[in-house]
Structure 1
Amino acid sequence: MTPNAKLLNKLLNLLEKRLKHINAWQVAQPDPAAFNSQTPFCVDTMSLEQWLRYIFIPRMQALIDAGKQLPTHCAITEQVEMVLSNNEKARVMEVTLAIDKLLTEQKIPSASLLKQV
């Protein structure tokens, strides 16, 4: 596993933890047809919380587990900022911003953030 894959794995675990903390993890699995959406973040067929839990995290985890190349661009923080309420937003955005920067800019997340995993 590459160093960035290890970091992404930690960040995905932290994202799951943060989503659970704000009660956004126990969302119902979308209907199978919802996964066929062609719109970004499947906004026409599922909630952001569903997209994170059932699409984003599993796909990133599958890439890591298979040893595949990670994406070189990621921009999910803006969607989180638009959708989540203010009191939920900051805790989740801290992690999604770290994921965006790791994949897009190869920027290593802060040690203090990684310690929270």
Structure 2
Amino acid sequence: MVTLQIDPFPAQEELETLWMAAWGESPVRDFSKILQRSLAHVCANDGSELVGFVNVAWDGGIHAFLLDTCVHPRLQRQGIAGCMVETARGLARDRGAQWLHVDFEPRLTRFYSACGFAPTSAGIIRLS
């Protein structure tokens, strides 16, 4: 049975294992430093295994940003990501954010629309 945890601090190795399964590449960052500064984060666990993650970064004011939403491929399309996003949305609101932003690839439009996000124009520039 998959359960959600609010603001846990999973081991770097657990996050790397999930990241590798979900994204097909190794993360190049130390999550412990990131999670200490996050407004919130939500993890999904199947027993003791980390199988889902979403981070809510913020600007210290009214804007929060949904980042790194992922679920282990063997458990995708079971509603886990949607539950994590809904939980993250409530946490962001309860912790003072007035806006929750998310950037995503076009193939995820249907998912994020179902989560209540409206399309907006945005820009991005690669710095490295």
Structure with the largest fraction of strand:
2
Structure with the largest fraction of helix:
1
Q: Same fold (TM over 0.5)?
A: no
